[in-house]
């Protein structure tokens, strides 16, 4: 019986992993997305146990990614998932909004094969660039069939993260990503893939072409401007994620505005600016609780839920389920 070598497709979108700076000592003054995917491939050691093919989807600094970009990726990735010549997919991406893209894809894609996002904190031209090892390890995880049973994953700095928990938590270190209190999903070392978590249910909650409703995020702080909040509420948004204090508390000067907006059929989700922990206040008086989702993930869930026409009465259950699935 012949053993088929796994085929991994690399889809490139730009970011620092494809960044170029004038000098190898420069890790900040570079242009993201400057190099083509062929240059990323050329930096990998020869691969005997995986077949690679690569395509350039975009050359973006991910700070400029828009929701339409997520939808374009979902279409491309659905095609790659359906391609019989592909066993796993790696998506290279800027690190600034990698967590948003990973979460959107997790919520919208049916995964039959591994999907692994990766990026880099140092440009490709840097001495000791982290991109080549991140890409190599992402390919190794994407070639591992069990990875498909963990939902959308990110591989950075030798760690494997679930899209559900992934967050960028540092401005410049190569270990910039973590999974908060949940901890990483696993690790990769010298090609060995180890899991800390068992496989998890990963049925998509929404169709990839679900329209995305406009939703804003506002953070609370002492002295927050009432007129600024009012302007956002009247600015055409269909929902608001309120990143409140601690357990989702809202400044007393603002709370009546949010209650009124909720009565006027805006979906108001109460999250925390605190960085960790569940938001779940008793007696919530019309607010939806983000439960375990941070404000950025809560926003994307709400954009999809409102775009899909989820009834208001079903939103809390959705947030509770997404938090702890």
* Residues at the interface with ligand ASP (CB under 6 A): 15-16, 32, 61-63, 94-96, 119, 121
- Token representation of residue 101: 């893209």
Kindly state the smallest distance separating residue 296's Cβ from ligand ASP, in Å. Answer: 14
- Phi, psi (deg, nearest 5) at residue 108: -120, -15
The residue annotated as part of the active site, out of 16, 101, 125, 237, is 16
Count of positions (residues) in the chain: 325
Query: For residues 21 and 250, which CB has a smaller minimum distance to ligand ASP in the complex?
Result: 21
Query: For residues 117 and 261, which CB has a smaller minimum distance to ligand ASP in the complex?
Result: 117
Per-residue CA distances from 26 to 40, 121, 122 (Å) = 18, 12, 9
Query: For residues 64 and 230, which CB has a smaller minimum distance to ligand ASP in the complex?
Result: 64
171 catalytic per annotation:
no
- What is the distance between the alpha carbons of residues 320 and 325, in angstroms, rounded to a whole number? 9
Kindly state the smallest distance separating residue 62's Cβ from ligand ASP, in Å. Answer: 3
Give 171's contacts (C-beta < 8 A, 6+ positions apart): none
Hunting for tokens 């998932």 — which residue is that? Answer: 81
Query: For residues 63 and 200, which CB has a smaller minimum distance to ligand ASP in the complex?
Result: 63
Give the DSSP per-residue string, 212-249. Answer: PPPEEEEE--TT--HHHHHHHHTTT-SEEEEEEBTTTB
- What is the distance between the alpha carbons of residues 114 and 144, in angstroms, rounded to a whole number? 7
Per-residue CA distances from 285 to 65, 258, 259, 270 (Å) = 35, 11, 8, 11
Query: For residues 101 and 310, which CB has a smaller minimum distance to ligand ASP in the complex?
Result: 101
Kindly state the smallest distance separating residue 63's Cβ from ligand ASP, in Å. Answer: 5
CA 101, 107, 108, 114 torsion-angle sign: positive
Check: CB of residue 38 under 8 Å from CB of residue 55.
no
Kindly state the smallest distance separating residue 61's Cβ from ligand ASP, in Å. Answer: 4
Kindly state the smallest distance separating residue 120's Cβ from ligand ASP, in Å. Answer: 6
The residues annotated as belonging to the active site are 16
């Amino acid at each position: 019986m012949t053993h088929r070598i796994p085929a991994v497709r690399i889809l490139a979108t730009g970011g620092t992993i494809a960044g170029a700076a004038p000098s190898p000592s420069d890790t900040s003054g570079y242009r993201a997305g400057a190099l083509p995917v062929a240059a990323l491939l050329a930096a990998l050691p020869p691969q005997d146990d995986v077949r690679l093919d690569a395509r350039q989807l975009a050359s973006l600094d991910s700070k400029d990614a828009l929701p339409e970009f997520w939808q374009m990726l979902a279409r491309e990735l659905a095609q790659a998932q359906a391609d019989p010549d592909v066993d796993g997919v790696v998506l290279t991406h800027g690190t600034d909004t990698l967590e948003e893209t990973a979460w959107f894809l997790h919520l919208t894609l049916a995964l039959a094969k591994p999907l692994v996002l990766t990026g880099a904190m140092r440009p490709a031209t840097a001495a000791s660039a982290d991109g080549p090892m991140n890409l190599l390890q992402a390919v190794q995880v994407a070639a591992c069939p069990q990875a498909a049973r963990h939902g959308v994953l990110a591989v950075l700095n030798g760690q494997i993260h679930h899209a559900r928990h992934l967050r960028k938590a540092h401005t410049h270190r190569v270990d910039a990503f973590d999974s908060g209190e949940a901890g990483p999903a696993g690790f990769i070392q010298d090609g060995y893939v180890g899991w800390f978590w068992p496989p998890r249910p990963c049925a998509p909650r929404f169709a990839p072409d679900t329209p995305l409703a406009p939703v804003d995020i506002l953070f609370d702080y002492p002295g927050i401007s009432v007129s600024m909040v009012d302007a956002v509420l009247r600015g055409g948004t269909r929902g608001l994620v309120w990143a409140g204090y601690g357990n989702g508390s809202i400044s007393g000067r603002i709370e009546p505005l949010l209650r009124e907006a909720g009565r006027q059929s805006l979906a108001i989700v109460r999250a925390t600016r605190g960085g960790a922990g569940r938001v779940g206040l008793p007696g919530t008086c019309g607010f939806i609780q983000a439960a375990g989702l941070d404000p950025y993930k809560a926003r994307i869930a709400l954009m999809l839920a409102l775009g899909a026409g989820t009834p208001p009465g079903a939103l809390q259950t959705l947030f509770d389920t997404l938090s702890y699935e």
